[in-house]
Structure 1
Amino acid sequence: WDNVGRMVYDQRICADYVEAAAVAVNSGNDLIMATPAFFEAAQEAVGRGLVDEEQIDDAVRRVLRLKFELGLFEDPRTPDSERQAKVIGCREHTDLNLETARRCLVLLRNEGILPLEGGLTSDGTGRAASRGTPRTIAVIGPNADSPEAMLGDWAGASGQVPWMPEGHPRELVETVLDGLRAVAPSGWSVTHARGADIAGPADDREWGIGPDGQPQAPVFTPAPVLQDQLEQAAAAAEAADYAVVVVGDTIALTGEGRSTATLDLQGGQIALLDAVAATGTP
């Protein structure tokens, strides 16, 4: 996005947007995802003599030719709300999503803990049938009850969806904690402790244009290890029969416009794993 502008403010190989627009058009870049900035700059580039008007005509011809070849003028393929209602979120797709998620799970090691209680089957309601002594599962970790962790980039609260600043409606997202509470046998207890944070803003910088006129983005750094969080997590694990620790990444560090220099667990997550492991709870 805005590959033309980036030649000015990121790569710094063009003096201004007009020069960058000329370089783009003359290099055969027919479609630019930044309007009206490119539109206005391209016109000025023609006026300055940096771009021949025939170059613009050639680019337009190529775009129109492709649209004709695709039949977009005969069938513009405008959104069909009825078809969307039938396809988006349909049972066939959700079943496929579930099967895909199941096949993506990787069990690195099992020391006789799984399946829990030797294997539990559904009681017909989707909840595991209870048998024997009720158990307690402690679900621990910064991603255990994080809707953002379940959705990823280009979802509510990711920064890419400005019309949903508070994120997706909570009732539409099922976290790991939600899922375990939904399927645990009746009488079992599912507790929760956050245990650690992953990352936080390094300063008060926000998305926008900085004092130097260049785009700026927030910078995040690993969160500190907080002793009270570790103690709460350890207490939850000690009081439980089983501990499920959910750690990983955060949308603040990965996604469009974001990157991280390491795949290591960030923030207090390693300390959290050590604290829970030290309790001896499987």
Structure 2
Amino acid sequence: MNNDSSKQLSQAFRNPSTLKVANIPTVIDLKTGRPIILWRYIQAAFEKAKAILNGDSLVSFMIDENNNEVIPLRIAYHPGIVLDVIMETISIGEAVRLSQIHSAGKEESKDHDDRSNQTVSTSTIADNKNDQSLIIYPKTIPEVSPSSFMLTHNPLHNDSLLTIMSGQAIMKQSMDQNFELLKDEVTKNKELQHQIVHLQELQQQTGQQLLKKQEEILQAHQHNSQELLKKQNELQQLQEKQQHTSQELLRKQEELLTKQKEMKQMQQRALDRLVNLQTSVQAVLTQTYELHEYPIP
């Protein structure tokens, strides 16, 4: 157990574009005790790395119990697997396609080596009981083009050739299907890229329109604020004018009351004089009457 813990593990990473492979050492996570690879180590080996692929699956960063990415960023150790590094210069779909092509090439090369290493077996076929001749056929025949041979009059040989032709036709059909699938995938990726660009343009236009609308609303608000301030100033002036008019009216009313008091006093004095005059006239009339009635002897 001590030997296993002290052994330095490493993870193989490959650039699918250049097929460059780098072995990056792992470190032990003190919390889980498992080997991990720090993201900064990967970026040190692949400067423009942006993601990691395991076949056609994206390798995610390790997260904690709250589903937050653990800092510093890290990925889990995948023993015995070569992980593909997606660079910033290519898309994820392109990286998956390169990885599939590389994997298919390795499998095809392995199958070709297996076929080359197989031994040729022989089978004995007699035309009849008296014919003891031997006909030797290879158990596995290397792939050849259908146009590179001609059918013979030997039916067994013709069957073998037809089998080869059928296998090659099936393989060609499979390759054509894979090519069509890759072509469809590339077309879909291009369509998705166009859609993303279109959405980004729409988002940019929407942002510009929203910004323009906000500016228009702000300008309208400022204009309304200025108009409201102007109306408030006019209203304040009207209130001041009304207050001044009210003060003038009060002053006029006070002056009118003062004049009314003065007129009342003047009327009272005139009445008093009239009473005095009436008294004097009455006295004169009385004296005149007395003098007329009672003359002086």
Same fold at TM > 0.5: no
Query: Into which bin does the TM-score normalised by the smaller protein fall?
Result: under 0.3
Max Rg structure: 2
Larger RCO, structure (CA 8 Å, separation 6 or more): 1
Larger helix proportion of the pair: 2
- What is the TM-score with the length of structure 2 in the denominator? 0.19
